[in-house]
Amino acid sequence: MVDNLTKEQRSYTMSKIRSKGTKQEKIVHVFLKEAGVSHTMHPNMVDKPDIIIKKEKIAIFLDGCFWHGCKKHYIEPKTNINYWRKKIKYNIERDKRNTALLKESGWRVIRIWEHEIKDGTFEKKLKVI
């Protein structure tokens, strides 16, 4: 399938995809705030968790189903397949590395999928806090 957008249009569209201030982040932020959990969004850490709960040494990552290769919802694009396979594979490997590094440093890591936020099941993962 051929992309129906020009390179310039595709570049513009992709530039509008944000990694901070997403709807999913806002949902989890409000949940933690209402639960009275002190947390920091986008802390300045090497491994780049989306949220940390410093007091408990918990790092939370909010993983998009597409960008992080969700086994339930990832659908491979029909164009530029080699690029996307390499990109998603790299993201998955980076996620594993970051999780291992944080755990070695004494952090507990919680990874929440985009679909868990959409269907509300993410709350179970955070009830243990």
Is 62 exposed, middle or buried, given 0-12, 13-18 or 19+ CB atoms closer than 10 A?
Answer: buried
Which of the four CATH numbers 3.40.640.10, 3.40.960.10, 3.30.420.40, 1.10.10.10 does domain 21-126 have?
A: 3.40.960.10
Q: How is the chain split into domains, by residue range?
A: 21-126
Q: What sign does the CA torsion over 4, 72, 83, 45 have? A: positive
Nearest in space to 108 (alpha carbons), one of 42, 41, 57: 57
Looking at residue 3, its pLDDT comes to: 64
Q: Output the CA angle 65-102-72, nearest 5 degrees.
A: 15
User: What pLDDT, on a 0 to 100 scale, did the predictor assign at position 1?
Assistant: 46
State yes or no: pLDDT of 12 exceeds 90. Answer: no
Mean pLDDT of all residues in the chain?
89
CA distance 122 to 16: 26
pLDDT value at position 117?
A: 96
What pLDDT does 2 receive?
A: 55
Would the pLDDT of 18 be above 70?
no
What are the tokens at 126? 């955070």
